[in-house]
Structure 1
Amino acid sequence: MRIAVTGSIATDHLLTFPGRFAEQLLADRLDRVSLSFLADGLDVRRGGVAANIAFGLGVLGLRPLLVGAVGGDFEPYRVWLKDHGVDTDSVRVSDTRHTARFVCTTDADQNQIATFYAGAMTEAREIDLREIVAHRGRPDLVLISPDDPEAMLRHTANCRELGLAFAADPSQQLARLTRAEVRDLIDGAGRLFTNEYESALLCERSGLTEEQVLGQVGSWVTTHGESGVRIRAAGRAPLTVPAVEVADVVDPTGVGDAFRAGFLAGTAWGVPERYAAQLGCAVAATVLGHTGTQEYRLTPEPLLARLRATYGPASETELSTHLRGLR
């Protein structure tokens, strides 16, 4: 199964603040916030939602097609992704803008304050999936993840025109989208991905109830952090999968992207949805133990051990055939 992942490709600047944001915010001064946090650490890492998901798919043995826009500074990042199984030949390189930047500060409670500079990502709206399909062939699935909003809408329209199966992952771009745009992005999606907060925001932004959203998508996959994952579809009981426990959380950045990579890999292999979600949770737990979104490795025994310890031998048996070849 060939998966095309569209969306942001960025460089992450990850800072750590040893205190708590909540202790610095004054309830009666929130309309005039002027704060500076002295960070103890800085890590500069490769990131971007689409690149993170594609990386995860690549290390799981798939060869995803990455679609997005970057600056002329992308070449070392391109080599890294190609070395980890990602097809980057359809990435657009800007002549004038830098690759997007994500600057995120994490406090002692794992709360985060972040700023995203779009840079070359604004040129993603110039990408035409019809041209990519003509040159690279038809993918079996297109994941439309956070990107330039016009690009997300164009990719969705292209998928409908070409009859391509697509999944919607609007994520942090929900705040930028109009009611009509949110509805357009999710209508007909085989899967919809959100976290718990985004699920409520999506309903508010779209003006749809949860039941109405479920009537427009094949299934709705919602991550709930430490509480695991809930998968819903119209006409069937929800499926709940608990999270994999992580004793020492190092950095939560990119954990949702890692879940999506694991889940999509599982569905690409044709395993039942429950086991695909379990794999997603196991990959997400691996990422939590590292600083940065693409600094982890996936090897068979540790990954299968996580699955066995949390979900039992059935999970290991179902997924072992697909994971034994990891290196």
Structure 2
Amino acid sequence: MKIAVTGSIATDHLMTFRGRFADSLVVEQLDKISVSFLADDLQIRRGGVAANIAFGMGNLGVRPILVGAVGEDFDDYRSWLERHDVDCESIHISETKHTARFVCTTDDDMAQMATFYAGAMSEAREIELAPVAARVGALDLVLVGPNDPEGMRRHTSECRTRGISFVADPSQQLAFGDGPLIRELIDGATYLFTNEYEAQLVQQKTGWSADEVLDRVGVQVMTKGKDGAAVLRKNAEPIEVPVAGERAKVDPTGVGDAFRAGFLCGLAWQLDLRRCAEIGSMLATYVVETVGTQEYDLKAGEFLDRFEQAYGAQSRSEIEPHLRRG
């Protein structure tokens, strides 16, 4: 199964604040907010939603096709991704802009404040999927992740026109997109990924009820933080999957991306939706246990042992034939 992952490719500048943001915020004065926080740690990591998802898939043994726009400063990052079995041949290189940057500070409550610089990502609208499909011999599924809005619109439209199944994953762009854009990005998707808050934003911005959203997509996959994940389908009982259980809670950045990577690998292996969500939940724990979105060390044997502990021997037996040894 050939899966293209489109969306942001960025570097993450991650800081920690030893305190609580909430203690410095005055609700009545939020319209005049002007605060600063002294960070005691800085980590510069590779990131971007599409790159994070592609990295996770490569680690699990499914080679994804990464599609996005970067700057000429991307060489080291490209080498890293290619060493982790990510196809980078369809990435657009900007001649004028730097690769996008995400700057995020996390406090002791795991609350986050972040800023994103788009940079070269704004040129994603110049990328056509047809040459990508021609190069790899056809695409079975395309994830349309948070990206330049016009790029997301173009990728979604092209998937519809060419009859390619697509995953709608508007994520961070939900906060900025208007109703018509969000409806366009979601309508007709085979899968829709959101967290609980984003699911409410989808309904608010599109004007669709929860049932009407399910009328428009095949499957809605909703992550729920400590409460796990739910897979929703029209006229079917929700599939509820608990979290796998982390060994430590270090940094939540990129947890949702890892979940998506695991879920897509389950689809590539033609497993049922419950197993897909279980794989996603297990991989997500690896990210929350580390600082950075691509810093975890995945060994197949350990992954399988933890997976069995979380979801049982039957679940393990179904994924074991597919999981890359290493």
TM-score under structure 1 length normalisation: 0.98
Please state how far the C-alpha of 1:132 moved relative to its aligned partner: 2.2
Q: Which residue of 1 aligns with 2:83?
A: 83
Contact map agreement 1:4 1:139 (CA 8 A) in 2: yes
SS in 2 for 1:322: coil
Q: Percent identity?
A: 55
**Aligned alpha-carbon RMSD (Å):** 0.9
Q: Which residue of 1 aligns with 2:60?
A: 60
Cα distance in 1 between the residues matched to 2:128 and 2:137:
13
Please state how far the C-alpha of 1:133 moved relative to its aligned partner: 2.1
Cα distance in 2 between the residues matched to 1:83 and 1:246:
27
Q: Which residue of 2 aligns with 1:132?
A: 132
Q: Which residue of 2 aligns with 1:281?
A: 281
Q: Which residue of 2 aligns with 1:37?
A: 37
Please tell me whether residue 180 in structure 1 is matched to residue 180 in structure 2: yes
Bigger mean CA offset, 133-142 vs 152-161: 133-142
Cα distance in 2 between the residues matched to 1:33 and 1:95:
37
Q: Which residue of 2 aligns with 1:25?
A: 25
Q: Which residue of 1 aligns with 2:115?
A: 115
Contact map agreement 1:298 1:326 (CA 8 A) in 2: no
Read off the aligned partner of 1:9 and give its amino acid letter.
I
Please tell me whether residue 98 in structure 1 is matched to residue 69 in structure 2: no
Q: Which residue of 1 aligns with 2:318?
A: 318
SS in 2 for 1:235: coil
Read off the aligned partner of 1:180 and give its amino acid letter.
P
Q: Which residue of 1 aligns with 2:257?
A: 257
Which structure 2 residue ranges, 5 or more long, are not aligned?
none
SS in 1 for 2:250: coil
Please state how far the C-alpha of 1:154 moved relative to its aligned partner: 0.3
Read off the aligned partner of 1:177 and give its amino acid letter.
G
Cα shift readout 1:110-137 (whole Å, capped 9, x = no counterpart) = 0000000000000001111123223333
Q: Which residue of 1 aligns with 2:230?
A: 230
Please state how far the C-alpha of 1:108 moved relative to its aligned partner: 0.2
Q: Which residue of 2 aligns with 1:245?
A: 245
Cα distance in 2 between the residues matched to 1:122 and 1:230:
33
Contact map agreement 1:102 1:116 (CA 8 A) in 2: yes
Read off the aligned partner of 1:97 and give its amino acid letter.
K
Cα distance in 2 between the residues matched to 1:297 and 1:3:
23
Cα distance in 2 between the residues matched to 1:304 and 1:89:
31
Contact map agreement 2:301 2:325 (CA 8 A) in 1: no
SS in 1 for 2:75: helix
SS in 1 for 2:95: coil
Please state how far the C-alpha of 1:299 moved relative to its aligned partner: 1.2
Cα distance in 1 between the residues matched to 2:57 and 2:312:
24
Please state how far the C-alpha of 1:138 moved relative to its aligned partner: 1.3
Cα distance in 1 between the residues matched to 2:107 and 2:133:
43
Please state how far the C-alpha of 1:180 moved relative to its aligned partner: 1.1
SS in 2 for 1:134: helix
Please tell me whether residue 189 in structure 1 is matched to residue 196 in structure 2: no
Contact map agreement 1:59 1:326 (CA 8 A) in 2: no
Bigger mean CA offset, 8-17 vs 129-138: 129-138
Cα distance in 2 between the residues matched to 1:122 and 1:137:
27
Q: Which residue of 1 aligns with 2:9?
A: 9
Contact map agreement 1:14 1:44 (CA 8 A) in 2: yes
SS in 2 for 1:256: helix
Please state how far the C-alpha of 1:326 moved relative to its aligned partner: 2.5
Cα shift readout 1:171-206 (whole Å, capped 9, x = no counterpart) = 010122121111111111000000111000111011
Which structure 1 residue ranges, 5 or more long, are not aligned?
none
Cα distance in 1 between the residues matched to 2:302 and 2:110:
25
Bigger mean CA offset, 86-95 vs 240-249: 240-249
Please state how far the C-alpha of 1:297 moved relative to its aligned partner: 2.0
Cα shift readout 1:187-233 (whole Å, capped 9, x = no counterpart) = 11000000111000111011110100000100000000110000101
Cα distance in 1 between the residues matched to 2:213 and 2:325:
37
TM-score under structure 2 length normalisation: 0.98
User: How many residues of Structure 1 are paired with residues of Structure 2 in the alignment?
Assistant: 326
SS in 2 for 1:249: coil
Cα distance in 2 between the residues matched to 1:121 and 1:157:
19
Cα distance in 2 between the residues matched to 1:131 and 1:310:
41
